[in-house]
Amino acid sequence: MMRSSLRRVAHRARAAYEINASAIRACHSDRSDEMVMTSQRRLGVIHDPALNRGTAFSTDERERLLLRGLVPPRQQPLHHQVKRVMETYMTQRTNLDKFQFLSLLMDRNTVLFYRCLVDHFEQLAPIVYTPVVGEACLKFHAIYRRTRGMYFSLLDRPHFRTMVYNWPIDDVDVIVVTDGSRVLSLGDLGCNSMNIPIGKLSLYVSAAGISPSRTLPIVLDVGTDNLQLRENPLYLGLNRPRLRGKAYYDLLDEWMSAIRHRWPNTLIQFEDFASEAAEKLLDRYRVSSAPCFNDDIQSTGSIAIAALLSSLRAREKSMRDIKDDRIVCVGAGSAGVGVCEGLVQAMQYYGMAKQDAYRNFYLLDENGLLGRGRPLIGNRVNFSRDDLQDGMSLVDVVKAVKPTILLGLSGVGGLFTEDVVREMAKHVEKPVIFPMSNPSVSSECTPEQAFNWTDGRAVVATGSPFENVTLKDGSIGYTNQANNVYSFPGLGLAVTVARISCVTDEMFLAAGRHVAQLSSDEEVRKGILFPPVTQLRDVSAEIAAAVVFVARAAGLVRRRLPDMAWESHDSMVQYMKSQMWEPKYGHLVAK
């Protein structure tokens, strides 16, 4: 009798804790304010970063998840944990130590990691993202501790279709994928590139409230031409030269088809692919049945649009005056050309004929101006000048053209020399200088140089973050981070929430136009082109709203959103905010 009643109690207890598969998924994937449950107990809870809450487990949780005695007695609220983490963070000596410290935190406690990142974004983003993420990629093989994300290598063919099921989560909202062939401006880093998709996805979560368990970072290891890495016994990727040509595109087709098979609606962001592949892959997959885009081409394009439009406001001009801008761009890789194509679309939007818009551009690559007679591949032909000598140097182009805008997407630090900038500043009242290459060492000039060489008249935006500059007269020269972090997270939120079926250039144009409107007139006149990164979650909701209206007009929205959300831009912004994942502890056990 006694035994059977005990059994009944035990059975009831088990039943209370018995969790079906969908509840486990809910715990991994749903918004944190919903009731969540788990089949994990004891250290299984503590060792799962999605469940772990360190010293913050409540009495109920300690009791029912069998955690008594496994954590220190005192219960701490999340904000005390954040304080402790940040104090220890400050004692880390080098940037790489800081990167490691944050990676380990991410491995231990998802909510705490993101709470820190959201609350201290300005301080921590340059570590998990550009510039320090670049250094962390260079040293990936040396500092490797634990796996995250997925690797698809040449050796895994033809098993991609089954491999995708090794990932435990059914609902994936965003994938960031790289083949490591051009990491930031650091070149071919092969399999070491994994920190790039991880870093980008942490921005989707922190800046746009994508649920962390619904993100998936991926590296395609097709070999590397980086001999130094290959010959290093600690290197973790394949020891073979990069796959090229048809075999490479076949591998990508197999990968795409495997991903689409398991996750048909997931947004795929192509990241840091070398120019040729970046363009070809975008052409190959952009009009497929599912959403994808290239970050370095399209979202960098949208932020360049934002920077240019915002600079028109800073120069007290109207948007239509974009037709009078003369743009010299160093860098004619996929990013340079893609960004300029984006700007051409912006010019068209403001009333110019496409052919006239192209005439406002002067593109240079490592061989100088793309000019008369040079054979060019892809869209580059559109930008070729027939009025100037092919191969002209930057300073000569600047002399000849008297540009209003200097755009840097070359990946080569220091190309905007004193000669170049001073020459430009002779001819325009407010020289607009955007050295957009990443990380900071690859910036074509520093904001300080831009201000010094223009007597403080420059309007400046860089790709990586820089400090504001104190000018000779004591006033502040404002720097701006014209980084694609202002656009891709918001776009991802829109795609996820509204299940947008295809990502179009119009969406990036809308995102760029919208970001350009977010600073007040007063701020913009001072040279502040964008809202501060501390407001990124608001910015992302704004972008998501702008994008979703464009998607609806194009018939690309597949999920029914509440009618109220569609009432106005502002109501859509509110709705997007309500759909964001928040880093806070939900209930692990039913009350």
Q: Is 444 in the site for ligand OAA (CB under 6 A)?
A: no
Does residue 14 contact residue 28 with C-beta atoms inside 8 Å?
Answer: no
Query: Is 271 annotated as belonging to a binding site?
Result: yes
The pair of three-digit structure tokens given for residue 588, joined into one six-digit string: 């692990």
Least distance in Å: CB of 342 to ligand OAA? Answer: 14
Determine the length of the chain. Answer: 591
The SS3 of residue 206 is helix
Q: Which helix (H) or strand (E) holds 411?
A: none
Q: What is the DSSP letter of 351?
A: T
- Of 29, 438, 462, 504, which lies in the binding site for ligand OAA, with binding defined by CB under 6 A? 438
Which entry of 89, 98, 114, 129 is annotated as an active-site residue?
Answer: 129
In the range 179-198, which residues lie near ligand OAA by CB under 6 A?
184
Residue 269 pairs with which residues in a beta bridge?
176, 293
**Residue 463 interacting entry, from Mg ion, ligand OAA, none, C-beta within 5 to 8 Å by type:** ligand OAA
In the range 414-433, which residues lie near ligand OAA by CB under 6 A?
none
448-451, Cβ contacts within 8 angstroms, sequence gap of 24 or more: 448/477, 449/416, 449/418, 449/421, 450/416, 450/421, 451/477
Does residue 471 contact residue 438 with C-beta atoms inside 8 Å?
Answer: no
Least distance in Å: CB of 198 to Mg ion? Answer: 13
- Of 272, 423, 523, 542, which lies in the binding site for ligand OAA, with binding defined by CB under 6 A? 272
Q: Is 296 in the site for ligand OAA (CB under 6 A)?
A: yes
Does residue 459 contact residue 407 with C-beta atoms inside 8 Å?
Answer: no
- Of 454, 484, 487, 519, which lies in the binding site for ligand OAA, with binding defined by CB under 6 A? 484
Map tokens 């001009």 to a residue.
Answer: 317
The secondary structure of the chain in percent helix, strand, coil, rounded to multiples of 5, reads 50, 10, 40
Closest CA to 265 of 282, 243, 290: 290
In angstroms, the CA 402 to CA 243 distance is 43
Least distance in Å: CB of 549 to ligand OAA? Answer: 26
Does residue 177 contact residue 134 with C-beta atoms inside 8 Å?
Answer: no
The pair of three-digit structure tokens given for residue 219, joined into one six-digit string: 């590296």
Contacts of residue 103, defined as CB under 8 A and 6 or more positions apart, other chains included, come to 145
What does the DSSP assignment read for 507-547? HHHHHHHHHTTSS-HHHHHHT--S--GGGHHHHHHHHHHHH
Query: Is 522 annotated as belonging to a binding site?
Result: no
Nearer to Mg ion, 124 or 335 (CB): 335
Least distance in Å: CB of 370 to Mg ion? Answer: 23
Instruction: Fill in the per-residue mask, 91 to 130: x = in contact with ligand OAA (CB under 6 A), - = not in contact.
Output: ---------------------------------------x
Nearer to ligand OAA, 81 or 130 (CB): 130
Give the phi and the psi of residue 230 in degrees, each rounded to 5. Answer: -60, -35
Q: Is 354 a catalytic residue?
A: no
Q: Which stretch binds Mg ion (CB under 5 A): 141-149, 267-275, 404-412, 556-564?
A: 267-275
Query: Is 560 annotated as belonging to a binding site?
Result: no
- Of 463, 477, 489, 527, which lies in the binding site for ligand OAA, with binding defined by CB under 6 A? 463
Q: Is 591 a catalytic residue?
A: no
Which entry of 89, 98, 151, 200 is annotated as an active-site residue?
Answer: 200
Nearer to ligand OAA, 213 or 540 (CB): 540
In the range 295-354, which residues lie near Mg ion by CB under 5 A?
296
Query: Is 192 annotated as belonging to a binding site?
Result: no
Nearer to ligand OAA, 193 or 454 (CB): 193
Contacts of residue 177, defined as CB under 8 A and 6 or more positions apart, other chains included, come to 197, 217, 218, 219, 220, 268, 269, 270, 271
Q: Is 179 in the site for Mg ion (CB under 5 A)?
A: no
Nearer to Mg ion, 156 or 296 (CB): 296
Binding residues for a divalent metal cation: 271-272, 296
Q: Where on the chain is the footprint of ligand OAA (CB under 6 A)?
A: 130, 184, 272, 295-296, 438, 463, 483-484
Binding residues for (S)-malate: 182, 438, 483
- Residue positions annotated with a catalytic role: 129, 200
